[in-house]
Amino acid sequence: MSEVRLRFAPSPTGYLHVGGARTALFNWLLARKQHGKFILRIEDTDVARSTQESVDAILEGMTWLGLDWDEGPFYQSDNFPIYREYVEKLLASGKAYKCYCSAEELEAKREAALKAGGKPKYDGTCRDLPDQPGKPYVVRFRTPHDGTSAWVDLIKGTISFENKELDDLIIQRSDGTPTYNFVVVIDDAVMGITTVIRGDDHVNNTPRQILLYEALEFPVPHFAHVPMILGADKTRLSKRHGATSVMAYRDMGYLPEAMVNYLVRLGWSYGDEEIFTLSDLVEKFSIENVGRSAGVFNPDKLLWLNAHYIKTGDPERLAQLVTPFLKQRQVDPATGPSLVEVVKTLQERARTMLELADGAIFYYNSDFDYDAKGAAKHFTAEAPELLGALVAKLEALPALTVEAIEQLFKEICEEKGIKLGQIGPAVRIALSGVTASPGIYEMIHVLGVEETKKRIERAVATIKP
């Protein structure tokens, strides 16, 4: 049995789009599941639009998602001599020909065909012309006029095209550069690609490519065409629906495992399961379970998944990931309590790393303003005495544990004849400045006795006698 080989072949004309990332993921998963190879190829033959910045953005996005490649990245621009060699081979065998029609002549033919109610395809004027030295030309593939080009798509089932409906494809432009449909066949054949998973906007390219494989006597790979991703309005996902760049989601505080989990579920299912790790996916993924209908991008579902992964995540890893977001907010986590311990108090309710960072600021910045309504309600005339009693008991604790702090609050409530609601909110505001924060006991444990005392004394100083 030959080695299974799949590839992801983006054009470096922009960032890694979520649709491209999903295609890469499906290819990566199938390669890993079948113990094959995953190849990364950069299709940079569009010299005018291809940039190194885009290449770097694609590689960064792939790395962030955890989609490592076994070979590459290879660059199409390195293969121009190979493409010319195969163009000459087709010309020599009579399977391609030189077309001397000018752009104006082609436009006139197109308009005439449309006017006559036909398809605006090339009429074959130059199919049997002799060489015309010195005259500019393109090279066209001599598409058979009879027969059918068909394949069993791994997602869509059997698809067929009548060859007579296909055009004589241009495989080399007048400036000598090859065209997409030609170079992708050469690359996939030379690289030994056995399965091509790509977007279903390529379905119409596939019969033309199959004919090229056959003309060059290359084995034809399996094809699987993935339905597109739509926005909530059921139109193709674009910037008007929100961020479409994978790295934009990283910058918005999403975790790569949440993005991977979400992307794979956009079109693929495994029973009723929703949560998958990469290793789960390698075990359970199958291309046959990819649906035929388009997936609708739902930001709320992605946010739900992200919240799940933050809630269940390793606090040490989350602490590393949130550090850049804290530094963006001019917060140095080295100047305060353990960031790992801070994360533990916040991850239950944070949905993004941005929310985690915002929630952590008060631990490192003690000169915050108090929530006006909360302070007016809870910084009462009785509060200073209760807060003072709390500080005294904290200083007397032999060990500052969450359990000991909870017991301490119970003692104060019993001694003063009050309920927790008569002291807890005032402590919360004194420590964090807001009425919604992590648990009071957890905050005191993380801040420590001295910082807790300092913050309570600051709050008491603001309460008018």
Catalytic residues: 239
SS3 222: strand
CA 86, 89, 95, 101 torsion-angle sign? positive
Spatial separation of the C-alpha atoms in residues 441 and 428, rounded to whole Å: 10
Q: What is the DSSP string of 97-138?
A: EEE---HHHHHHHHHHHHHTTS------TTTTPPP-TTS--E
Is the Cβ–Cβ distance between 416 and 386 less than 8 Å? yes
Is the Cβ–Cβ distance between 198 and 226 less than 8 Å? yes
C-alpha 408: how far from chain center: 48
Angle between helices 18-33 and 256-265 (to 10 degrees): 80
Is the Cβ–Cβ distance between 441 and 402 less than 8 Å? yes
207 Cβ partners below 8 Å, 6+ apart?
149, 150, 160, 161, 163, 166
**Residue 206, burial from CB neighbour count under 10 angstroms (0-12, 13-18, 19+):** buried
How large is the C-alpha radius of gyration of the chain?
Answer: 32
Position of tokens 């400045």? 433
| Max CA separation in the chain (angstroms) | 108
266, 246, 265: which is closest to 256 by C-alpha?
Answer: 246
250, 198, 251, 253: which is closest to 221 by C-alpha?
Answer: 198
15, 8, 12, 10: which is closest to 245 by C-alpha?
Answer: 15
- Return the structure tokens found at 463: 């309460």
